[in-house]
A and B are shown apart, each in its own frame.
Chain A
Amino acid sequence: MVMRNVLKNCDPRVKILLALGFAVIVALTYSFRVLFLAALFVLVCLSLSGLSLRFVLQRVALVNLFLVLVVFTLPFTTPGTLWFSIGPFKVSHAGASLALLVFLKSNLIVLATVALLYSSSVFELAHALHHLRVPDKLVQLLFFTFRYLHLLEQEFLHLKEAALLRGFRPRTDLFTYRTTAYLVGNLIVRSYDRSQRVYEAMLCRGFQGTFPVYHHFEGQRRDLFLALFGGLYLVLMLLAG
């Protein structure tokens, strides 16, 4: 059980750098050997992350929704030696392997990112990005985007409930469209106001653009191990390619 969520307590700076390095290497490679090594890396990360399989699959399913189109059109549209044909549609070897490559790359990158970064809170990640010398404006943008998306969702649920409580049932008529438009309009105005108030409340507590964290990262032996092994593995992947 101790091994279950080792990654959660690791330094987010190391995790961000590993995820970034991994993503770059995997995105740029054309070699299946590298992808095999990458898959091993992902497996180890996932088992150390303590995330449930179901949760991870849900995330990946979402990504693959976008991939479907690419994966199913590439084999037919890429020129190359003929593999097989279905009626007038011809599948090339090059196309099939390219589709497989795209599919594997995308999934591996998403899986590695989820495994490495999901175990840190956005607050910790924002703080880590500060330490990695990412410009303040970018970090704030990231943090507030996340924060306001959450507020947007909350406000939307409130409004929806208010409408439902007064007997609103969506139909395909002008009244429904108008009501929906009101809801969306109200949602934008309210979320804006609310985000403004959150920002002001932060100002009142001395906010100056940086995110101090409560649990400060201290370079522990665990982090050193993760950085060392992760880094070496990435180098190995580079050499294999």
Chain B
Amino acid sequence: MAQPLLELKNLAFSYGEKVLFKDLCLRLYPGERMGLMGPNGAGKTTLLRLIVGLLSPEAGQIIFEGKPCHTPKDFYYLRRRVGLVFQDPDDQLFCPTVAEDIAFGPLNLGVPREQIPGLVSHVLKMLGLEGFEERVTYRLSGGEKRLVALGTVLAMKPQVLLLDEPTGDLDPLNIEKLIDILKGLSAAQIIVSHDVEFLKEVTDTIYWLEKGVLSPYEKKTSISFYRAF
């Protein structure tokens, strides 16, 4: 069997008294697309933040390309290849123009300057936002912001793409567009969402995260409502 691209081994994490995971394991293989669902507060976002090293686990390992990551330097390397798109696009976009925001990641990675304008227009074309280069980021609509935020990460050509509720405030047409974009990528993906239909369309497997346990998702509409109380 091939080596997993990303592996979480016996991960434990808690916020003070509240224990989120005790012994969480997960394997992501190259090109695999995984959906992640679960009740609010189950730790889906926390899991993504642990993977890229914004939080550190109390126990367990994050293994990328067969190499365990511990130090900030390990995670700096990991973040060059594992892109996280935040839930709120306003957190992600901070440059005055769309082009500058998309260029920020590649420039940090040391992509030669001559290639940047071509890369920016390529990413914008992929998102169906041709000619958006000089638009001011905080005057974009909610949907456009979300797509551009995705673009800022895509521009880094990640091997793994982590998406936190990417459908957020997208209209049905934009969701279709997002599905096409994501299906067209070769990167492995972990997508956190509450939208079952969307996940079924895009991902190969869907997992349910609850009480620190990952299990394959089955139809549990009635149960989860019951459990919420």
Binding site for B on A (CB under 8 A): 121, 123, 147, 194, 197-198, 200-208, 212-216
**CB distance B109 to A206 under 8 Å?**
yes
12 chain-A/chain-B pairs, Cβ below 8 angstroms: A123-B96, A197-B86, A201-B86, A201-B92, A204-B84, A205-B104, A207-B104, A207-B108, A212-B107, A214-B103, A215-B100, A216-B113
Closest partner residue, chain A, to B79 (CB atom):
A204
> Could you tell me the distance between the alpha carbons of A201 and B162 in the complex, rounded to whole angstroms?
13
Given known contacts A204-B84, A206-B156, is B104 in contact with A198 (CB within 8 Å)? no
Binding site for A on B (CB under 8 A): 49, 52, 54, 76, 79-80, 83-84, 86, 88, 91-92, 94-97, 99-100, 103-105, 107-109, 113, 116, 120, 152-153, 156
Given known contacts A198-B91, A207-B108, is B83 in contact with A214 (CB within 8 Å)? no
Contacts of B92 in A (CB 8 A): 201
Known: A123-B100, A198-B94, A208-B76. 5 other contacts (CB 8 A): A201-B92, A206-B105, A206-B108, A214-B100, A215-B100
Closest CB in chain B relative to A86 CB, distance in Å: 52
Closest partner residue, chain A, to B49 (CB atom):
A200
Interface SS, B side: helix
Contacts of B109 in A (CB 8 A): 206
Which residue of B76, B84, B95, B105 is within 8 Å of A123 (Cβ)? B95
Closest CB in chain A relative to B6 CB, distance in Å: 15
**CB distance A203 to B100 under 8 Å?**
no
> Could you tell me the distance between the alpha carbons of A194 and B90 in the complex, rounded to whole angstroms?
9
Given known contacts A123-B100, A205-B153, A206-B109, is B80 in contact with A197 (CB within 8 Å)? no
**CB distance B79 to A206 under 8 Å?**
yes
Closest CB in chain B relative to A146 CB, distance in Å: 11
**CB distance B108 to A205 under 8 Å?**
yes
**CB distance B86 to A202 under 8 Å?**
no
> Could you tell me the distance between the alpha carbons of A206 and B52 in the complex, rounded to whole angstroms?
11
**CB distance A121 to B96 under 8 Å?**
yes
**CB distance B152 to A205 under 8 Å?**
yes
Contacts of B83 in A (CB 8 A): 204-205
Closest CB in chain B relative to A189 CB, distance in Å: 16
Given known contacts A203-B54, A205-B156, A206-B80, is B100 in contact with A213 (CB within 8 Å)? yes
**CB distance A212 to B91 under 8 Å?**
no
> Could you tell me the distance between the alpha carbons of A207 and B116 in the complex, rounded to whole angstroms?
17
**CB distance A203 to B79 under 8 Å?**
yes
Contacts of B108 in A (CB 8 A): 205-208, 212
Closest partner residue, chain B, to A197 (CB atom):
B91
> Could you tell me the distance between the alpha carbons of A215 and B133 in the complex, rounded to whole angstroms?
12
> Could you tell me the distance between the alpha carbons of A202 and B83 in the complex, rounded to whole angstroms?
11
Closest CB in chain A relative to B157 CB, distance in Å: 12
> Could you tell me the distance between the alpha carbons of A169 and B120 in the complex, rounded to whole angstroms?
47
> Could you tell me the distance between the alpha carbons of A208 and B107 in the complex, rounded to whole angstroms?
11
**CB distance A202 to B54 under 8 Å?**
no
Closest CB in chain A relative to B55 CB, distance in Å: 10
Given known contacts A197-B88, A197-B91, A198-B91, is B99 in contact with A204 (CB within 8 Å)? no
Closest partner residue, chain B, to A201 (CB atom):
B92
Closest 4 CB pairs of A and B: A212-B107, A206-B108, A205-B105, A197-B91
A197, A202, A205: most-surrounded residue (chain B CB, <10 A): A205
Given known contacts A205-B104, A206-B105, A214-B99, is B152 in contact with A200 (CB within 8 Å)? no
Closest CB in chain A relative to B50 CB, distance in Å: 12
Contacts of A121 in B (CB 8 A): 96
**CB distance B52 to A202 under 8 Å?**
no
> Could you tell me the distance between the alpha carbons of A154 and B176 in the complex, rounded to whole angstroms?
31
